[in-house]
């Protein structure tokens, strides 16, 4: 079943257009979306910097994937491949890894290991 165009959506009793999300468009919602977007852009720039000097087809593939990421989850899924191509012994690479970890922790604050087992 196809969704109805917005102009055909039912109105509320007061005559105001039907809102899909309660509170949509409030200033705090816009500020939260802008902050999330800034976090994503910052993380994407860090990932681009990390893969900028990776040689070969693997580097080309990683740059393409990072460049076309549209969501923080896209970068989250690429993190293993990016960390795998960064040499572990070089000081610049270590700084890059730490920088990427900070960016990921900022975007996904609850992504750490679970400390206790939860019952099913």
Domain range list for the chain = 29-107
Distance between CA 10 and CA 43 in Å, rounded? 40
Residue 86 near residue 96 (C-beta atoms within 8 A): yes
Q: Considering the entire predicted model, what is its pTM?
A: 0.67
The pLDDT-based confidence of 5 (bands split at 50, 70, 90) is: very low
pLDDT digits (tens, 9 = 90+) for 74-110: 999 999 999 999 988 889 989 999 999 999 988 888 7
Distance between CA 15 and CA 112 in Å, rounded? 46
Residue 74 token pair = 């896209």
């Amino acid at each position: 079943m196809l969704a109805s165009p917005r102009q055909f959506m039912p109105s509320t009793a007061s005559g105001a257009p039907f809102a899909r999300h309660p509170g949509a468009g409030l200033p705090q919602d816009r500020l939260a979306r802008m902050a999330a977007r800034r976090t994503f852009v910052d993380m994407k720039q860090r990932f681009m910097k990390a893969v900028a000097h990776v040689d070969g087809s693997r580097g080309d593939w990683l740059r393409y994937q990072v460049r076309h990421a549209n969501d923080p989850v896209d970068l989250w899924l690429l993190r293993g491949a990016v960390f795998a191509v960064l040499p572990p012994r070089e000081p610049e690479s270590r700084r890059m890894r730490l920088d990427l970890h900070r960016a990921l922790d900022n975007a996904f604050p609850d992504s750490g290991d679970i400390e206790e087992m939860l019952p099913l």
